Amino acid sequence: MRYLLIDQITEWKSTSTIKGIKNVAMSEDFLEFHFPNHPIMPGVLLLEALVQLAGWLEAKCSGFNDWVLIDKVKKCSFYGFALPGDQVDLEVRSLCRAVSKRKTYRGIGKVNGKKKIVSEFEGKAVQLSKLEDIADQKRFFRILTREFLLS
C-alpha cells in the first residue's frame, strides 16, 4: 500500500521552502485501526507527509531529476492529534545551503494555527527516474499546485 499524503501544494520558494495541505478524511483506511472508535492520524504519517513535501521541493528545484529518501530523523516532537476533518498546514524548509546529495530539512505541521508536529530530518537525493516516471510526476505536481487550472 502507498499513501500519497499531500493534497495540495500551496506555495514554494526557489530551493528553500514549500508549503502544502493534508486533509484528514474519515474515509482514510488507517483511521479504522488507529484507534478503533477514536480515530487519530498516526504521527508517523504526519512525519511522512512532511517528508513527501520535501521530496516535491527537491523534485521541483532539480528540474524533476531528484527526489529525497529519508534515512534519519534528527528530532521529532508531537504537540497534539490530527483528527478526521482537520486540515493540516505543512511547511518544509531546506536547511542545506550548498548543493549536495545529502539534504537536511525542518518541517512543521499545524491545525488551525496550533502545532501538531515539528521535525528535523535528513536524507539522500536520488534520481527520480529510478523511482517514478518523470512525466507522471511533473503532471502530478501540476495537479497538486493547481497549475493545470492556469493553462
Task: Give the residue numbers annotated as catalytic, written as ranges.
Answer: 34
Task: Give 125: exposed, middle or buried? Use CB within 10 Å, 0-12, 13-18, 19+.
Answer: buried
Residue 129, C-alpha cell as written in the block: 527516474
Helices 43-61/134-144 angle, 10° precision: 110
The residue among 16, 3, 10, 7 whose CA lies nearest residue 92 is 16
Query: Is there a contact between 117 and 49 (Cβ–Cβ < 8 Å)?
Result: no
CA 118, distance to chain mean position in Å, is 13
Place of cell 488507529: 34
CA distance 14 to 89: 19
